[in-house]
Structure 1
Amino acid sequence: MRKYLTRKTEIESSFKVRADTLGEQFTTACEEASAYNEDMKKSKIAAARGAYITALKSARNLAVSMEETMFNDARDELTAVLTKAPTPAQASYLQALALLSEPTPDDIEKAVQVAKGNAIAEQVVAEMAKKVRGVIFAEPDPIDLRATLDGLDEFEQRRAESIMRYGEVDALGELNNWHDICFTPNSSCSALDALDEAIERYA
């Protein structure tokens, strides 16, 4: 399940459909204006251009607003799952383990199973494992909350920039309009992958 990747795809797909429809309408209006004399043609194209820019701005602002809500929800949910307190059983087990002067690899392996499903407990076990000779820690690394949040912040900014570039009036119909080509709804990114992985792992 990719909860936030799915939400991003839905928002982007809806925006692309709206923006592309507006672009097609603008292009059609420009083509139809060619039937008039030069002055009327310029007037009609200018009017169509203004209407396109205004409508596109509205569509862009809506998409950015929806993504802002999505990213805020993502940050809140991620923080909640990564800061959830260990269960009483997990806390008691880890406290008892910490009292051992020399935990064994077998102790760590048992602790891994006890801590599974809680980010804080897994972090404690990972730190303990570093101090025990002979332990091969094969479990996934604990997820870094700060690094994941920073990745989300950076991705949100890039997303907003992409939305605000998409559909530039002077680039409509150009094959080398890389802003359009790179703006693909189904594309993933490391930030959303890490986010969805954390939520699936700890929710």
Structure 2
Amino acid sequence: MTDSVKKMEKVLKICKTFGIKTEIKFNPTKTQIMRINGTNQDETSLELCGEEIEWVRKLKYLGVWVDGKHYSKEHLRERRLSTWRAFYLLKTNLDICSKDISPKLKAHLFKTYVRPIMYYGLENCTINKNSNNGFAKRVLANDFTLRIFKSNETKNNRINKFISELKEIIGLDEPITKEILEDKIKQIKKEDKELSKN
């Protein structure tokens, strides 16, 4: 990481010299350069071991998409798609929409299989308020999510049983609203973040 193209050229020369001395071969085709908060004029031709290095707008580092403007839009999009894939696999393989599966088991399956996929790499993301709200809305206010938890049940006693079990799981005595669910998601994220630090 350098703050100018000239310094990057020096770093690349150091890498080349180090590689020759220690007999380490660098692969320029697997090397990429990304400009952070610069202009397109910064994208001059840089070489490593005689081959030109590719300039990119975004790159994947440890499974997290990073771009030059410090936005995490691409990573959030990928997390959202992966979350829906996990939901779909639960639906097709375990028939999670079935009325035979209890809400407690559905919540457990969500926490075990979907939530880790949804949260992967989020601690490193820059999330603005709009992205955060949009992400929560897309997960909560989706017909597929509602179908999973309602299980196409129409009888009032089954729906009331589901709601009471859901209240018990998330520890609520008041009516469940979208805002309460969003607050609960924030609380769960905070708890998960604190647990991951330990």
Question: Is the radius of gyration larger for structure 1 or structure 2?
Answer: 1
User: Which structure has the highest helix share of the two?
Assistant: 1
Structure number with greater CO (CA < 8 Å, separation at least 6) is 1
User: Which structure has the highest strand share of the two?
Assistant: 2
Task: Settle same-fold status: TM greater than 0.5.
Answer: no
TM class, shorter-length = under 0.3
Query: What is the TM-score with the length of structure 2 in the denominator?
Result: 0.27
